[in-house]
Each structure stands twice: as structure tokens, then as C-alpha cells.
Homo-oligomer: A and B are copies of this chain.
Amino acid sequence: MTELRNTKQRIAVTAALSATDRFQSAQELHLAVALAGHSVGLTTVYRTLGALADSGDVDTVISTDGQVLYRRCIEPSHHHHLVCRDCGRTVEVEGPQVEKWADAVATANGYVDVSHTLEIFGRCSACATLRTPS
């Protein structure tokens, strides 16, 4: 069915993903690949990330301003993210009781085919010390 080929471009993109533990936009990753010395078209970056997201190899988060952020998946099972608003540094978190609560609420209201999005945004300690309030 799906025939995937090993191209230098895909290798470069996955390498860039593996080089960081932060959520990054497609454009940031495109820049990261360029800085790593490889030339990959922006279109290809988008396509590669889309494919990886479909296959579940990267996690995606929609930032509060609507753009998609990507990050390589460490924990393969279902989990959520604690993301730094400034630098993207991320901690994977799990909340089994939250999952159960969400499903229970949905079925109690007659909703089927249920999914949920749960992300926690904040400022990590490193970024918090940088921008000290007045």
C-alpha cells in the first residue's frame, strides 16, 4: 500500500526532529534543517511532517494562535503535554483519571466517536527567569 522511500530529505527532517525535545512549527524545523547544512524545500518539510503525524511518529499540538507544532514522540502511548509558551520545551504527562472523566462525560451526553485535546501551557523555569516582571 503505502510505499515509503528513504530520501535524504526525510532523513534530514527526522534528524532535526530527533535533535530537539521541543515543539516546533514546520517553518522552524525547515530553518533547523537548513542550519544543519541540508537543503530541503519547505513543501517537503510540510509533507514529511504530515506523514509522520499520520503514522503517529510525531505529536502535534495546535498553538493558541492556530499554528501546528510538531515534536517527536517519546512515550508511544496516549499522553498530553506541558509546553513552554516561549521556548517550546515540553514535558509529557499522563492523566488516566482525566481520560476516564472525558469519556464518561461524553457518553453521558450521548456523544460518540469521542476524542479530546488537553494541553497545558506555561513558562518553564528557564524562560521564567529570563523575563522577570518589572
Contacts and interface: CB of A to CB of B under 8 A. Distances in A.
Contact of A97 (B82, B101, B112): B101
Which bracket fits the contact residues of A?
A: 35 or more
Contacts of A116: 118-121
Number of copies of this chain that the complex holds = 2
A98 B110 CA distance: 21
Contacts of A64: 62, 117
B114 A121 contact: yes
A112 B123 contact: yes
B125 A105 contact: no
A7 interface: no
Interface of A: 62, 64, 66-68, 82, 84-85, 91, 93, 95, 97-98, 101-102, 105-106, 109-125, 128
